[in-house]
Structure 1
Amino acid sequence: MRRLLVIFALLISLTSYSQTEKPLRVAVVGLVHTHVHWILGREDRGDIEIVGIQESNTDLARRYSVQHNFSMDIVYSDLDTMLEEVKPDAVFAFNTIYDHLQVVEKCAPRGIHVMVEKPLAVSLDHAKQMEALAVKHNIWLLTNYETTWYGSNHAIFDLAVKENRLGDIRKMVIHDGHQGPEEIGVNKEFLEWLTDPHWNGAGALTDFGCYGANLSTWFMQGERPIEVFAFTQQMKPDKYPKVDDEATILVTYPGAQVIIQASWNWPFNRKDMEVYGAVGYAIADDGSNMRIRLPGDEKWQMHKAAPLNSPADDPFAYFAAVLNGEIQPEPYNPSSLENNMIVMEILQAAMNSAQSGKSIVLNKD
């Protein structure tokens, strides 16, 4: 029932928007998540206009203003002041995961829609508070993942879920990660909070485990798992003494199993997904390349997924199109609140399991 209420409330909010040629007036909250370069360095597609940036670290803001050629006149140190003076239609949050709740607390009562960078929240408790605010104030609350915009993931979803050509899904194996945040050279402002469990919830478990939880929830069409077991390690305690840098999450469904491998120890960057059905399988090696084997195939076949069509190829274009009523999001799509509430159930259970060493059985909704 709670999920239905969320969907109903979000659908109602569409009535306040109509198609328009004017760009959506947006603000950026936080510059400490380096995925912010995605929006700051984005080509002007005429769909959004950045009218304000909130960041209390003036040195960081100045560095990025030079790099991306925005005026310091639109930078505010205080979130309330920016929201009152700028009055944006929507906000994109690139601050710490812990501070996502504060963004929604400030924006929702003002009727300002929010998209946060993955994951939705630092804990299930924070996520529930954010969900309640979004429903109460009829705002869209979406979550952005890089993998949402992979043509390969959408092609395999169509094959496996919409067309059921793989048969019933039996297993998914999802790998996400890189050599480690320090190893790949993230800046100090990002590294400080990403490796602190207070601000990030955990380490690799939350940073990369969220991708697998998000994709599996999409492919399982919102079915909640019955059990979660996770184990974590510190391969590099000298670099990451406060958090895990290696995590494996086992997610059990009534008829399927999902294995999520999140790591800051891969020798190379990777974001790939394997989907095994009763009669076939499909593997996304990256954003476009796929290996597929269907009934009758003697071996797997290589395929290349077509790029996604605008505006469904980009988080900011997508959000603008949703708010303008041009797109009706499908149930449990990767950006949706209902999907990401289940993601947070999985991540919270995984954190609890890793700490206790026990499997966590999820309560029935």
Structure 2
Amino acid sequence: MHTLRRAAVVGLGTQALEDHLPGVAASRLAELVAVCDTDPGRVAPVESAHQVPGYTDLERLLADVRPDFVIIAVPHHAGRRITETCAKAGVHVMKEKPFATDPAEAADLAVLCRTTGIELMVTVQRRFHPVYRAARQMLEHVGDPYLLEGRYTFRCPDPSAGWRGQAGLAGGGCLIDMGYHLVDLVIWYLGLPDRILAHTSATASPGASYDAEDTALVHLSYDSGLHGSLLVSRSIGPKAEQLRVTGPQGTVVVERGRASRLDPGGRPVESLTREPAWPRAATAQIDHFCRVLDGRCPNPSGPDAHLPHAAFLGAAYASATTGRPMDPKEFL
């Protein structure tokens, strides 16, 4: 009989409540053994609902419970410290995106994981969703891409609310947060661009006090002749997410719940629809990470795999500041 991996969840905000805790509950390979948050008011109801010990001190949790791995779902600025605490205790980590708040932090965390020998997997749910995997296969049939169009938008009533409104805490705004998913798809499907020109804005809510961008427009260029743009905003409704990649033999369109391949005239060739549009990818990630820890499969989303993401974001924010195109490879 397979021994269940012991998991603890650190950070009991919306992401943990809606994704990670249900994901562990549905896992065939892991069991929840503890939860932690600095706010006692968040700990108590989760502790009671899941019948596991709750903590407000991570070091005490690690010493008392000795989990096999910790799922980190905390504000961006706190991620490094929590990861370092887990690594010091020899505890593996599943970490909510982003991997790091800037390229220097990403490099430091990658070294930390190598020197301590812990596994770290960044949670990028789309890599575990059948629609996004199907889209990657469809790209093989459109020829060498020359056009990329991406959009991820939704309406946040108050972009100044909480730590996400402060660039110093979040590492940026919508681009490093929700935009991380588009960045991950671009790198997974097409690789790191050769040039990035970005523009950002934090003006959607006049009178509100925040400096983390609510809207970002990023232009991408590859030496292969592929060009494109990504629009990310938390100020535009309704919620929409789409990525289109066009080559000489057609276009691949991927959105939540559906991947399609079109011929050069825009007529459908094939498609895959998944209902519900967003199954429990969190459980698939957790089960995969357990297999990584068991040595049964490689880690597809480890620290080194996310250094390009940090470089992409570093180049984009540098471009937005200077007004000049940037080569993301210089940020690796």
How would you bin the TM-score normalised by the shorter chain?
0.7 to 0.9
Match of 1:123 in 2: 102
Report if aligned partners of 2:153, 2:237 keep a CA contact under 8 Å in 1: no
1:75-154 equivalences in 2 (<5 Å):
75-154=54-133
Q: Deviations over 1:148-192 (max 9, x none)?
A: 3332211011122xxx21111223222223111648xxxx9xx41
Count of residues in correspondence between the two structures = 326
Counterpart position of 2:153: 177
Cα 1:181/1:193, change in 2 over 3 Å: farther
2:9 paired with 1:23: no
1:1-365 pair list within 5 angstroms: 21-32=2-13, 34-42=15-23, 43-65=25-47, 69-71=49-51, 74-160=53-139, 164-180=140-156, 182=158, 191-220=161-190, 223-233=191-201, 234-239=203-208, 241-255=210-224, 256-287=226-257, 289-294=258-263, 299-301=267-269, 303-305=271-273, 314-329=284-299, 333=300, 335-363=301-329
Residue type of the alignment partner of 1:291 = S
Cα drift, residue 271 of structure 1:
2.4
Q: CA deviation at 1:260?
A: 1.8
CA contact (8 A) 2:166 2:210 kept: no
The alignment-based identity, stated in percent, is 21
State the distance in 2 between where 1:150 and 1:240 align: 37
Higher strand share: 2
Contact 1:104 1:133 in 2 (8 A): no
Aligned to 1:17: none
Counterpart-to-counterpart distance in 1, 2:107 and 2:129: 28
Segments of structure 1 that go 5 or more residues without pairing to the other structure are: 1-19
RMSD: 2.7
- Which deviations, in whole Å up to 9, do the C-alpha atoms of 1:278-305 show, x marking residues without a partner? 3221101322x2331247x771246224
The amino acid of 1:50's aligned partner reads: L
Ranges in structure 2 where 5+ consecutive residues have no aligned partner: none
Q: Cα distance, 1:251 vs. partner?
A: 2.5
* AA partner of residue 221 (structure 2): T
Q: Is the 8 A contact 1:209 1:249 kept in 2?
A: no
Indicate if the aligned counterparts of 2:27 and 2:283 stay in contact, CA closer than 8 A: no
Shift of 1:63: 4.2
What are the superposed Cα offsets for residues 81-115 of structure 1, whole Å, 9 maximum, x if unpaired?
11111111111101111111112211223322111
Using the size of structure 1 for normalisation, the TM-score is 0.81
- Cα distance in 1 for residues equivalent to 2:95 and 2:286: 11
